[in-house]
């Protein structure tokens, strides 16, 4: 199955992006032949900022996105949202990709399930 998760919230301050990524990991675990795509838009583009440092014992969104990528998933970022926040391609984690609303539309149409956090 193809799963698309759209995240809108910043990496910290709320737990919506954290919970969306927990769901992405669980979907990959229960459907190893499936495909998970995470699309980051609005303040969620900051989730892919490289070099995040969190206190010991606190979740780290950068590492969570890395797990999505290492499991064969895709991480896409809204390019307009990146520009609005001054986030350049060099600022994001390796493997994450600047994207567009057109690519989000195509990915949505190709997905079996779409979850929005």
pLDDT in tens, 15-39: 999 999 999 999 999 999 999 999 9
Q: Domain limits of the chain?
A: 2-116
Q: In this structure, what token pair is assigned to residue 89?
A: 């391609």
Pick from 75, 73, 79, 116: nearest CA to 100: 79
Q: pTM of this prediction?
A: 0.96
Q: Given 3.20.20.140, 3.40.1260.10, 2.40.10.10, 3.40.50.620, which CATH number is that of 2-116?
A: 3.40.1260.10
Using alpha carbons, list the distances in angstroms from residue 78 to 21, 32, 57, 98: 17, 26, 30, 6
Q: What was the pLDDT predicted at 15? A: 97
pLDDT by residue for the chain (117 residues), tens only, comes to 999 999 999 999 999 999 999 999 999 999 999 999 999 999 999 999 999 999 999 999 999 999 999 999 999 999 999 999 999 999 999 999 999 999 999 999 999 999 999
């Amino acid at each position: 199955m193809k799963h698309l998760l759209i995240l809108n919230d910043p990496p910290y301050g709320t737990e919506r992006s954290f919970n969306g990524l927990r769901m992405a990991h669980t979907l990959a675990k229960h459907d190893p032949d499936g495909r998970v795509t995470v699309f980051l838009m609005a303040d969620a583009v900051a989730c892919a900022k490289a070099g995040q440092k969190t206190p010991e014992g606190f979740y780290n969104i950068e590492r969570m996105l890395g797990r999505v990528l290492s499991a064969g998933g895709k991480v896409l970022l809204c390019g307009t949202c990146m520009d609005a926040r001054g986030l350049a391609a060099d600022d994001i984690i390796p493997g994450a990709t600047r994207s567009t609303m057109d690519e989000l539309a195509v990915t949505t149409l190709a997905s079996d399930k779409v979850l929005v956090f």
